[in-house]
Structure 1
Amino acid sequence: KLTLLAVVLSPFIILAIASAGKKMKRLSHTAMESLADLQALLYEIISAMNVVKAFSMEGHEKERFAKENRWNMRMNIKLTRVRALYTPLVELIGGAALALLFWVGGRDVIHATPDFITGKVLTTGDIVSLFVALQLLFTQFNRVNQIYMSVQNAFASADRTYTIIDMEPDVKDKPGAVEIPDVQGNIEFRSVSFEYNPGEPVLQDVSVTVKPGMVVALVGASGAGKSTFIKLLPRFYDVTSGAILIEGVDIRDAAIKSYRRHIGIVPQDTILFRGTIRDNIAYGRPGATEEQILEASRMAYAHDFIKDMPDGYDTFVGEHGATLSGGQRQRVAIARAILKAPRILILDEATSNVDSVSEKYIQEALDNLMQTRTTFVVAHRLSTIKNADLILVMDKGRIVERGRHEELYAGNGVYRNLYETTLSAERAHARPPKGQSAADGANE
């Protein structure tokens, strides 16, 4: 009878343990999301410290951090409360069950009541033996409860980790993808349309054929689709309709690495990795020799400033190349592209964020880089792409004009308006302030 009673009472302990584990997992998820938000906010504030100081927003950012930190603290307090509540709760249920069993068994011993199942009259020794056994059992229940809550906490962490690990890339090789062994630079955009969000076209019916060695410039107002155009070429995204062909092969049918290794990119916002200048230049070609690295640096007009640095090519550049100026970072990125020796080159407004002196060196480095390569140039300053073999004028995701500079300028259309507007802005920027001579401006 007492054993049956113990079995009947055990599910209450199991239910308490299950309830604790469920709450622990849910709260652990929330607490980890809160911690991730707090860390992201902290990284954002530290990364933009100069902007915060410039706008005297230290108090505002301190309050933002305090608010996020308070929410994170509340989530962790709730976690602690669950652990603090359910551990003694399981012990209480176990203790109450033991007390009930001891009371029922003691009463049967005192009144010499026979067990209704076995017919045997229980002795004091039987009650003590059963009590000790059940005490050991309920102690193990308590340990299981603690382990179960820890496991649920770990499961919450694992769920977040495996959410990322199990993510399938949007762009990947299809089964039986073919290799493109010999990329020369033949590229065709065939009626390409693209949407980031359904029903919101960014590119519409774009078609262009590019031969090896051609320099193709993309111009247009902000939001015209220039950056999206060049992101589709290395297949960072798949086209919504149409096709992009390299050497006559639809890139969706080709192994991604077989053509990406022939593409070099010099972005507008240069990305350098923590490490030395040598590591960053050799990033796309890890087995490069010292002489190859030096030659790429000379062609990028980076060698002179690198050798003047305290540790030369072994200078540590910090996170995102923080120890280098914008022009220096850009020239290191160009050296990296030169060393890779790509057949297809993408220049995304590579000189838009640098001063005129750095621009001169960078433009000369880019001229070296573009030789004999199929090149796509997104230009901020239209004066830099006058010699392009083909200029594509984009507006609202469409190519509205195409041709060389001379014929487009003579056409008195969108390109001419863009060119004259941009050229006027460049001249105004270069003109010295009123009351100051050009020579004085140059001396400054």
Structure 2
Amino acid sequence: MPVFKKFIRYYRPYKALFYFDIFCALLLSAIDISLPQLLRYLTNGVFEVNPQGILKILLPLAGILLVMCLARFGCQYFITSWGHIMGARMESNMRQDLFEHYQRLSFTYYDRNNTGDLMSRLVSDLFDISELAHHGPENIFISVVKLLGSFLLLLFINVPMTLILAAVAFVMVLFSISQNKKMRAIFMDNRRKISGVNSSVQDSLAGIRVVKSFGNEALEQDKFERSNLQFLDSKVGSYKIMGTFRAGNSFFEGLLYLTVLLSGGFFIANGSLRVSDLAIYALYITIFINPIDVLVEFTEQFQKGYSGFKRFLEVIETEPDIVDSPDAVDLEDVKGTIEYKDVSFSYNDTEQVLNHIDLKISAGQTIALVGPSGGGKTTLCSLVPRFYDVTGGSVSIDGTDVRKIRLSSLRGSIGIVQQDVYLFSGSIRENIAYGRPDATDEEIMEAARKANIHDFIMDLEDGYDTYVGERGARLSGGQKQRISIARVFLKNPKILILDEATSALDNESERRIQASLDLLSRGRTTIVIAHRLSTIRNADEIIVIGDDGIIERGPHDALLNADGVYARYYNLQFEGLDEK
């Protein structure tokens, strides 16, 4: 019932459509079950009793039947067209809700889940939900009306015979319920297995350059084959259950005809049933069986839609780890002073990354973080924009705990340039404008000039409208990096985080990008993570982080003279040559 209530709320914006759809279903069902009754009345009440009056009623009868046919046409059109449109709109609403919830979920959620599985929930699962949303209430309503209507009208013809038919139908329902439980489990397994296929495809195609560089196409084919065969096994299991389900119901439908034949013959023999009424019974059996067929089809549809909606709810009901506190405020007149007070952090309460870190960065100051990979440098930076929350202590900006700052305001005050640049599929203009979507063309070009990429863009055939390809595949690493710097220039934040922004570039690209980064850092509080120590010699303070927290701190020259960990890193990198 809780799942049912959550599903129903998506009907609320379309109540008028839904109610009229049900009205059309009611009218359609009433017309279908009234036709055999009309035929019975004519057969027993007119054709036998008053044959001379047949010609007088033919035209009025034809008019009535024509009106019924036209009404049936209109109802069927509305159910098929606008009923599906309602389902499609509900699907669209669910997809929008799911995507918006994806945007709210924190990095922790994406650390645990595969993109291919999330895509499967967003696309294929919701299609079956749409079909269920449209056909579910309508099919149930039509089937119930036809079954009850047929049953009640048959009672007027012969009560014992109708009760015998009801007993066969009841056994048929029990069989369907038992098979339904098996189908629910197998269809949920289908969902999981197709998610595995999607995950395998997404993982392989996203890393296709790595696959080909290692010549591991055969390895990827084997991995995909395993997930594909697992899905096939699940589908085979579902088709076997469906086969039993459909064949069983077909058998019971045959029993209904057999019951009509045997019981009808018996009641005709003892004089309690007319021969003409047996023909009407046969017509009603067709009407009786049709909704049963619909319900059989609906059972499969329901299990697919139900399993899809359950997977939809698994995401929707996942509470984001990072949310605005009830008393959150906006950052105003940002200076950029950052302070870490006794900060500790661990992933999943097991992997301790930071231990009791105390650090204050004054407004406009540039500090550099140095240390071995895995020491917690990126994690330390990620705590400022609240990509993760501290497990101990606090991080504050201008004296305000970041957990008390509205996320949109907090992240709007921070610019991040990473080593792994992500460009969205689209034009160069769109990717730079991502820093401030309402920026003018002049502002976009000015940001590109500051990032030392404007001249390159203007030399391209399509200029700022040049398509960058998926993840910026048509551009070099240095070009992508400068576009990412341009969008941070456009954003114009007071706090800047540079996460190994030049470590993957050649010397020439590094020189140009470093000049852009130096310009970008002016007047901003800047945290630099760097492995190339030549890029941080001018930092106001260098922080050396190890497994036990902050090991050393101070300016470049002082740390060299101290001949400690930083000096050892520096000498190893430059082979003992002090480049000044």
Could you state the TM-score of these two structures normalised by the residue count of structure 2? 0.68
With 12-21 and 320-329 compared, the bigger mean Cα shift is at: 12-21
Corresponding residue SS for 2:359: strand
CA distance in 1, matches of 2:211, 2:566: 39
Are residues 137 and 425 of structure 1, via their aligned partners in 2, closer, same or farther at CA, if it must alter by over 3 Å?
farther
CA deviations on 1:211-242 (whole Å, 9 max, x unpaired) are 11000111101111001001111001111011
Aligned ranges for residues 26-425 of structure 1 at < 5 Å? 26-100=185-259, 102-107=261-266, 109-110=268-269, 121-122=272-273, 124=275, 129-396=280-547, 398-424=549-575
Shift of the alpha carbon at 1:156? 2.1
Shift of the alpha carbon at 1:145? 1.1
CA deviations on 1:353-372 (whole Å, 9 max, x unpaired) are 01000000010000000000
Shift of the alpha carbon at 1:90? 0.9
Shift of the alpha carbon at 1:186? 1.3
Opposite residue 199 of structure 1, the aligned amino acid is T
Opposite residue 542 of structure 2, the aligned amino acid is I
Are residues 282 and 373 of structure 1, via their aligned partners in 2, closer, same or farther at CA, if it must alter by over 3 Å?
same
Shift of the alpha carbon at 1:290? 1.9
Pair 1:8 & 2:167 matched: yes
Confirm or deny: 8 A CA contact 2:421 2:481 kept in the other structure.
yes
CA distance in 1, matches of 2:281, 2:205: 63
Opposite residue 265 of structure 2, the aligned amino acid is G
Opposite residue 418 of structure 1, the aligned amino acid is Y
CA distance in 1, matches of 2:335, 2:176: 66
CA distance in 2, matches of 1:5, 1:90: 17
CA distance in 1, matches of 2:453, 2:545: 33
Shift of the alpha carbon at 1:276? 0.7
Are residues 290 and 111 of structure 1, via their aligned partners in 2, closer, same or farther at CA, if it must alter by over 3 Å?
closer
Confirm or deny: 8 A CA contact 2:260 2:281 kept in the other structure.
no
With 404-413 and 132-141 compared, the bigger mean Cα shift is at: 132-141
Opposite residue 163 of structure 2, the aligned amino acid is L
Corresponding residue SS for 2:515: helix
CA deviations on 1:77-135 (whole Å, 9 max, x unpaired) are 333343343223212113224424543453455356xxxxxxxx455555554454344
Opposite residue 329 of structure 1, the aligned amino acid is K
> Percent identity at matched positions?
39
Are residues 177 and 86 of structure 1, via their aligned partners in 2, closer, same or farther at CA, if it must alter by over 3 Å?
same
Confirm or deny: 8 A CA contact 2:571 2:577 kept in the other structure.
no
CA deviations on 1:129-184 (whole Å, 9 max, x unpaired) are 44543443233212111122112212222332333333321101121312222211
CA distance in 1, matches of 2:482, 2:577: 22
CA distance in 2, matches of 1:289, 1:224: 41
CA distance in 2, matches of 1:202, 1:357: 35
Could you state the TM-score of these two structures normalised by the residue count of structure 1? 0.88
RMSD (CA atoms): 2.2
Q: How many residues align?
A: 419
Confirm or deny: 8 A CA contact 1:22 1:152 kept in the other structure.
no
CA distance in 1, matches of 2:219, 2:398: 55
Name the one with the larger helix percent: 2
Shift of the alpha carbon at 1:273? 0.5
CA distance in 2, matches of 1:251, 1:344: 13
CA distance in 2, matches of 1:223, 1:53: 28
Opposite residue 58 of structure 1, the aligned amino acid is E
Opposite residue 290 of structure 2, the aligned amino acid is T
Unmatched tracts of structure 2, length 5 or more: 1-159
CA deviations on 1:322-345 (whole Å, 9 max, x unpaired) are 000001101111111111111000
Corresponding residue SS for 1:235: coil
Corresponding residue SS for 1:391: strand
CA distance in 1, matches of 2:306, 2:516: 53
Corresponding residue SS for 1:352: coil
With 344-353 and 67-76 compared, the bigger mean Cα shift is at: 67-76
Shift of the alpha carbon at 1:60? 2.6
CA distance in 2, matches of 1:257, 1:56: 44
Which residue number corresponds to residue 430 of structure 1?
none
Unmatched tracts of structure 1, length 5 or more: 113-120, 428-444
CA distance in 1, matches of 2:164, 2:260: 7
CA distance in 1, matches of 2:556, 2:471: 36
With 123-132 and 297-306 compared, the bigger mean Cα shift is at: 123-132
Corresponding residue SS for 2:195: helix
Opposite residue 209 of structure 2, the aligned amino acid is N
Corresponding residue SS for 2:575: helix
Confirm or deny: 8 A CA contact 2:168 2:255 kept in the other structure.
no
With 154-163 and 350-359 compared, the bigger mean Cα shift is at: 154-163
With 153-162 and 370-379 compared, the bigger mean Cα shift is at: 153-162
Confirm or deny: 8 A CA contact 1:13 1:141 kept in the other structure.
no
